[in-house]
Amino acid sequence: MEYFLTDEQKMIKELAKKIAEEKIMPVRAEYDEKEEFPWDVVKTLAQSDLFGVYIPEEYGGMGFGIFELCLAIEELSRVCGGIALAYAGTALGTFPILLFGNEQQKKKYLPLIASGEKIAGFAVTESEAGSDITTLNTTARKEGDCYVLNGTKQWITNGGEAEIYVVIAATDKTKGARGLTAFIVEKGMQGFKFGKKEKKLGIRASATRELVFEDCCVSAENVLGKEGIGFVIALKNFDASRPGVAAQALGIAQGAFEAALEYAHQRKQFGQPISSFQAVQHMLADMAVQIEAARALIYQTAKMIDYGVKDYSANSAMCKLFASEVAMKVTTDAIQIFGGYGYMKEYPVEKMFRDAKITQIYEGTNQMQRSFIAHNLIKNISKKNR
């Protein structure tokens, strides 16, 4: 689909690809094995200005949009979905400030993120609040000019490594969804510490950690939007970020497909490359079709958002749902094409298979995406028939 990209978009795509192949590929297995956060790669991404792709120029960014962000995430994830998540997870923590921050907040935080000097995270999930975030137990009590936060967030991407977090907490538990508020919390604030670092099946180079708040005083100046709209901020954030998850899934699928195609061309059985067998050809054909269909849906959704289409929630859910299903199918088939070798850690498709699984789970499970899409369809037809 490169034929319709502008010169600037091609430059972003090629830059991300170059970093992925030259800086990430040689170390991806090591970071996966050691479960270390890839700070050296993050520094390279910062030096390349890629962290500022989707941030307006007045705040130190490049002034592009979600489409360009997806191009970068796709290329980085094609080589390593885990390392790419340091980049993509920062966008998840930045969108709430972009969408709901006041001018003072934007000027304070966005230039730091755009330069890559500081990375970000988004904290909503808790042990008893996953898909249903209206049941959050983390509270924020107003005391004078600050809010006192107490509670624990779970499974936070970039947890412990990021220095800027957007945290959703309950300011009035009696109001349910209308009682949630979003706060910008900085690493080092008194009463804010980090808990358990998770050991994961995949994306092991990404830091996934608990955030613990014990009488953490956050200035009222750090409230995003206003008190009581934290639920709306969380929903709007996920609407904007799900194309990025889809791009991550797409990149993983593309990487697995390329590896399987090359292997099928080289591997010989019965005196000929296995790519000459119809069974393998059909698998490769299906993989290619699914990847291109996912790419078209992601690119369309990202363009819708950048063009200012008001209602893109269902499309955002669709592209995340479809691309993550494709990633799981393609990586599974890639292992099958590799045969026994595909099951071994020395070949990349084993890792891609593990990395792909989380894309079906985080930022809303695929079951929740299906429910949301169906609800949206039924709501629209009800409006039409009134």
How does DSSP classify residue 126? B
Q: How far apart are CA 214 and CA 193, in angstroms?
A: 8
Q: Are 184 and 97 in contact (CB under 8 A)?
A: yes
Backbone φ and ψ for 264, nearest 5 degrees, come out as -60, -30
Q: How far apart are CA 252 and CA 352, in angstroms?
A: 6
Backbone φ and ψ for 157, nearest 5 degrees, come out as -65, 135
Helix axes 81-100, 348-357, angle to 10 degrees: 30
Q: Per residue, what are the HEC states of 8-20?
A: HHHHHHHHHHHHH
- Closest by CA to 76, choosing from 355, 289, 360, 357, is 355
Chain position carrying tokens 């499309």? 315
Q: How far apart are CA 133 and CA 125, in angstroms?
A: 7
Chain position carrying tokens 């510490």? 193
Q: Are 151 and 138 in contact (CB under 8 A)?
A: yes
In the chain the first and final C-alpha atoms are separated, in Å, by: 41
- Closest by CA to 181, choosing from 219, 215, 225, 137, is 225
Q: Cα separations (Å) of 175 from 110, 170, 171?
A: 31, 9, 9
Whether 363 sits among the annotated catalytic residues: the reply is yes
CA atoms within 13 A on the CB side of 187: 15
Q: How far apart are CA 12 and CA 44, in angstroms?
A: 14
Q: How far apart are CA 44 and CA 86, in angstroms?
A: 12
Active site residues: 363
